[in-house]
């Protein structure tokens, strides 16, 4: 009996491995409603002929606009911006440009594992029943590459292509639900309904917690001034989160009144699995976010601001979503000044 069970299990595992080796990059989403926001979840099933994937590049098609990617622990994030082919309405504002390509870089996805990469955006100007092709490239090591870049011509089955670009399908007019849920884009994720909408909103808020949008009024201004060594810490705060949102941003102003350079080398908090030090910066038309593994320098006689859209703390694997009006404890460690405990007030998700 044990021999039969073992043999069956071995055969099943072998079949799964063989299947995954030939799997295509694809979206986990059910058909999305036109003119709705979608958390597009890209599945990357394997590496490049046995090599681990270190970079994933996704070109955004015309009609997928206002895109904001979800940061991934261990990966640097690049957002390449450019002009749209036409103008789109964003709550009464005409928008002609935005993110056109997303790149997750410097990670390590072994060939025998799979992972997902999420981009929140709006499907706009695309007919019901159609599909949007996201040309995707995996880079593995110094010379490995898999390009999912083939787009089926009209009447051609995409499954017949060797390297089809992942398709985000749109629901046909007769398949779209009516009522409040449909108007708000619910049901974008198969079998999740309202949860999918919450996921899309969570991605939007998470990116907003790190960028500079709506900063005015986001800081409650209630953190007490803290001194450690020659350093003075003020204006600390974080932002409220949605349920299920895994990442939050933390901000503080550090003034070095001494004559010796210092470095913020680490942060930790009981509110999250870990805290990383990050930087967001525009390099040409590319918005880059990267982890600062060597810390954040605080030169003598200067003031360094950790703020939305720039240097910041990133609370990873948050245990409970931050709630406006609450407080979040965090311990900072400096190379020279030592450690200091802060209590960050939680402000609104965006400035009021």
pLDDT in tens, 46-99: 888 889 999 999 999 999 999 999 888 889 999 999 999 999 998 888 999 999
pLDDT in tens, 175-188: 544 443 333 333 33
Asked, colleague to colleague, whether 2-210 and 226-347 share their fold, the answer is yes
Task: Round to whole Å and give the CA distance between 92 and 229.
Answer: 50
**Per-residue confidence (pLDDT) for residue 9, from 0 to 100:** 42
**Per-residue confidence (pLDDT) for residue 14, from 0 to 100:** 39
Which H, E and C letters describe 142-183, residue by residue? CCEEEEECECCCCCCCHHHCCCECCEEEECCHHHCCCCHHHH
Ramachandran region of residue 33, left (φ > 0), alpha (ψ -120 to 50) or beta? beta
Q: Is the pLDDT of residue 195 over 50?
A: no
Pick the CATH number of 226-347 from 2.60.120.560, 2.60.40.1890, 3.30.420.40, 3.30.1360.10: 2.60.40.1890
pLDDT in tens, 253-304: 999 999 999 999 999 999 998 999 998 877 776 777 788 989 999 999 999 9
Ramachandran region of residue 9, left (φ > 0), alpha (ψ -120 to 50) or beta? alpha
High-pLDDT (> 90) share of the chain, %:
44
**Per-residue confidence (pLDDT) for residue 28, from 0 to 100:** 86
Task: Count Cβ atoms below 10 Å from residue 190 Cβ, excluding itself.
Answer: 11
**Per-residue confidence (pLDDT) for residue 174, from 0 to 100:** 55
Q: What angle do CA 288, 294, 295 make, to 5 degrees?
A: 80
Q: Is the pLDDT of residue 145 over 80?
A: yes
Q: Is the pLDDT of residue 218 over 80?
A: no
Q: Is the pLDDT of residue 209 over 70?
A: no
Strands 338-347 and 231-239: parallel
* Cβ atoms of 84 and 96 closer than 8 Å: yes
Strands 311-318 and 272-283: antiparallel
- Sequence-ordered list of residues with C-beta below 8 angstroms from that of 160, at least 6 positions apart, any chain: 152
Kindly indicate the confidence band of residue 29, based on its pLDDT and cuts at 50, 70 and 90. confident
**Per-residue confidence (pLDDT) for residue 206, from 0 to 100:** 44
Residue 4: strand, helix, or coil = helix
- Shortest CA distance to 330 belongs to which of 278, 279, 266, 285? 266
CATH class of 2-210: mainly beta
pLDDT in tens, 114-142: 899 999 899 999 888 889 999 999 999 99
* Mean pLDDT score across all residues of the chain: 80
Task: Round to whole Å and give the CA distance between 280 and 159.
Answer: 39
- Shortest CA distance to 319 belongs to which of 273, 251, 267, 269? 273
Task: Round to whole Å and give the CA distance between 251 and 313.
Answer: 6
Domain locations along the chain: 2-210, 226-347
The two structure tokens encoding residue 104: 């997750």
The two structure tokens encoding residue 160: 């017949």
Which range of 152-166, 214-228, 293-307 scores highest in mean pLDDT? It is 293-307
Q: Is the pLDDT of residue 3 over 50?
A: no
């Amino acid at each position: 009996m044990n021999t039969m069970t073992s043999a069956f299990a071995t055969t099943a595992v072998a079949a799964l491995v063989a299947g995954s080796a030939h799997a295509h990059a694809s979206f986990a989403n059910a058909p999305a409603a036109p003119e709705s926001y979608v958390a597009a979840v890209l599945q990357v099933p394997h590496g490049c002929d046995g090599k681990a994937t270190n970079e994933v590049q996704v070109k955004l098609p015309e009609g997928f606009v206002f895109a904001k990617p979800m940061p991934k622990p261990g990966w640097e994030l690049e957002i390449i911006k450019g002009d749209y082919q036409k103008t789109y309405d964003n709550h009464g504002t005409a928008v002609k440009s935005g993110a056109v390509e997303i790149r997750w870089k410097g990670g390590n996805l072994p060939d025998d594992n799979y992972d997902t990469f999420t981009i929140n955006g709006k499907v706009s100007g695309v007919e019901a029943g159609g599909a949007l092709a996201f040309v995707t490239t995996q880079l593995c090591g110094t010379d490995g590459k898999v390009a999912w870049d083939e787009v089926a011509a009209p009447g051609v089955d995409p499954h017949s292509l060797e390297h089809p670009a992942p398709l985000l399908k749109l629901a046909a007019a007769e398949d779209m639900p009516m009522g409040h849920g449909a108007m708000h884009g619910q049901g974008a994720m198969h079998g999740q309904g309202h949860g999918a909408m919450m996921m899309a909103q969570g991605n939007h808020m998470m990116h907003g917690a790190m960028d500079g949008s709506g900063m005015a009024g986001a800081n409650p201004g209630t953190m007490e001034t803290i001194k450690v060594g020659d350093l003075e810490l003020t204006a600390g705060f974080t932002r409220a989160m949605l349920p299920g949102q895994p990442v939050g941003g933390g901000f503080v102003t550090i003034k070095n009144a001494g004559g010796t350079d210092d470095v913020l080398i680490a942060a930790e908090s009981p509110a999250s699995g870990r805290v990383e030090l990050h930087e967001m910066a525009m390099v040409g038309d590319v918005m880059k976010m990267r982890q600062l593994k060597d810390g954040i320098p605080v030169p003598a006689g200067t003031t360094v601001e950790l703020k939305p859209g720039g240097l910041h703390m990133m609370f990873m694997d948050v245990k409970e979503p931050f709630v406006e009006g609450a407080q979040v404890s965090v311990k900072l460690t400096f190379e020279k000044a030592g450690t200091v405990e802060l209590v960050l007030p939680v402000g609104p998700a965006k400035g009021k």
